Amino acid sequence: MPRTQAIFFTWTTYGTWLRGDMRGWVDDGIVLPADPCIEAADRARMKHTVFTLHPNHLFAVGQAMGASLRSRMKLRILALTIQTWHVHLVVAATSRSLSDIVKCAKDAVRWHLRLDRPLWTAKYDKRFCFSPSSTRSRVDYVERHNVRVGLPARPWGFIE
């Protein structure tokens, strides 16, 4: 099996993509079809309102997240986008625990925003890149998200 070259992460803000969502949803890496009953049950269990990031805060949130990942985890960040309802992050291969990476990123935003409520979904999706072309494809995907919201493809200085 080829060695991992990069890891592509995705996670969403609280309540923006529930199980059963009409866009499909992922469980244990398997994309599942819409199920309005499951979605309604999850929505009824929510203890807080849906959370989205304000568009004016996206750059600062990305700066806080990236600075924390670089200083605390010593990660090489290949791409990052902060959207109002989700995050995509590509990091170079690392021996760090994937759950620790996501926790560090999520905690950095919580600290930055100083909000006393859930900001993120508990889980996250991860995809491993085993070739330069796979890595480049994921990086391009993330960079297109930045351009769509009016930012440069690589808006932060910590992106390699």
Q: Tokens for 149? A: 């919201």
* Same domain? 44 vs 94: no
Of the pLDDT bands very low, low, confident and very high (cuts 50, 70, 90), residue 92 is very high
Range(s) of the domain holding residue 27? 17-50
Domain count, the chain: 2
* Same domain? 70 vs 119: yes
**Three-state SS at 145:** helix
Q: Tokens for 9? A: 């992460």
- CATH number of the domain at 56, please: 3.30.70.1290
* Same domain? 36 vs 65: no
Q: Match 């935003």 to its residue by tokens.
A: 109
* Same domain? 6 vs 80: yes
* Same domain? 57 vs 104: yes
Task: Supply the pLDDT for residue 1.
Answer: 56
pLDDT tens figures, 15-64: 898 888 888 887 877 888 999 898 899 989 989 999 999 999 999 999 99
First to last CA, the chain: 26
* Same domain? 39 vs 73: no
Per-residue pLDDT averaged across 72-93, rounded? 98
Per-residue b/e over 112-128, b at no fewer than 16 CB within 10 Å?
bbeeeebbbbeebeeeb
Per-residue pLDDT averaged across 101-123, rounded? 96
pLDDT tens figures, 124-155: 999 999 999 999 999 999 999 999 999 999 99
* Same domain? 38 vs 83: no
Question: Residue 40 is inside which H or E element, if any?
Answer: helix 36-45
* Same domain? 77 vs 141: yes
